Amino acid sequence: MPVSLDDKLVVAISSRALFNLEEENRLFDAGEPDAYMRLQLERLDVPAAPGIAYSMIRKLLRFNDDGIQRVEVVILSRNDPVSGMRIFNSGAAAELRVQRGVFTQGRPPYRYLRPLNADIFLSANASDVREALAAGFPAAHVRVDGALASALHPDEVRIAFDGDAVLFSDEAEKVFQLEGLDAFQAHETRKAAVPLGAGPFKPFLVALHRLQQASSTGMRVRTALVTARGAPAHRRAIQTLMNWNIRVDEAMFLGGLSKGEFLREFEPDFFFDDQTGHVDAAARHVPAGHVASGISNGP
């Protein structure tokens, strides 16, 4: 029978999201691709340091420790195939079981998400993320200049999500931005029992929920909803998750407070938000990524 990834949690990730390649990337951004390739070849056997999403990837791969392949990580990169050798070497040196990769030598890679049946795409390239979201895949622009994850929870992958325009649709966010807070509160009170539509990251949350239920490795998933909503708008968010038959381990209804310090205490391996201000505040403390969806990010 042909090999299939259909029953796996598939994470597609760019080289720079997984490893710290910022020194090398400065040459590429400066318009010196040949110098970039030479440096990568010179460092072929020098393992790259962990990048922003490294902790989350390492922990997710540990769900395979009992010999059942539940998680598949695929490198999906604008790198050239030769530079891709260093990425695989770095993964092997870190004992990350990553065996698949697509290297497009500068071309947009998002088209390969469909044959991979990817559950999420993480990239340091903002335009690739937008194209992936437009194609219907959960995707986030990784803040490569942000903080690395804490090492305090080796047996628990911790992932935090914003609500509106990330887990949920931006229906309510549109009311808030176009009509103000009072209209938003009235709208959410009136529709408290009506589930919100799915946002771009609902499928990833569902996949994490499924992974937790299937695991027998001692690893677990801990999720948090971290939202600017406060009471009474909290009720609709909770009702929506109940309608989806999904629970989160923690919920923070912050009523507009900055999320960064709350996330510092939760210590996630990654946080996803649609608003750059929240991502900037979070990235000072934890790994974070921007989800370029909803009214906050244009058409």
pTM score: 0.94
How far is 12 from 37, CA to CA, in rounded Å?
23
Is the fold of 9-142 the same as that of 156-297?
A: yes
Nearest partner of 104 among 123, 80, 122, judged by Cα:
80
**For residue 1, what pLDDT is reported?**
57
**For residue 299, what pLDDT is reported?**
67
Annotation marks residue 162 as catalytic? yes
Nearest partner of 10 among 292, 210, 159, judged by Cα:
210
Q: With contact defined as beta carbons under 8 Å apart, do 269 and 140 qualify?
A: no
Q: Which residues of the chain carry a pLDDT beneath 70? A: 1, 299
- HEC string of the chain equals CCCCCCCCEEEEECHHHHEECHHHHHHHHCCCHHHHHHHHHHCCCCCCEECCCHHHHHHHHHHHCCCCCCEEEEEEECCCHHHHHHHHHHHHHCCCCCCEEEECCCCCCHHHHHHHCCCEEEECCHHHHHHHHHCCCCEEEECCCCCCCCCCCCCEEEEEECCECCCECCHHHHHHHHHCHHHHHHHHHHCCCCCCCECCCHHHHHHHHHHHHHCCCCCEEEEEEEECCCCCCHHHHHHHHHHCCCCCCEEEECCCCCCHHHHHHHCCCEEEECCHHHHHHHHCCCCEEECCCCHHHCC
- Which residue in 6, 45, 145, 162 is the catalytic one? 162
Residue 128 identity (one-letter amino acid): D
Residues written for the chain: 299
Q: Where are the domains of the chain?
A: 9-142, 156-297
- The CATH T-level fold of domain 156-297 is Rossmann fold (3.40.50)
- The CATH T-level fold of domain 9-142 is Rossmann fold (3.40.50)
Share above pLDDT 70 across residues of the chain, in percent, rounded to a whole number: 99
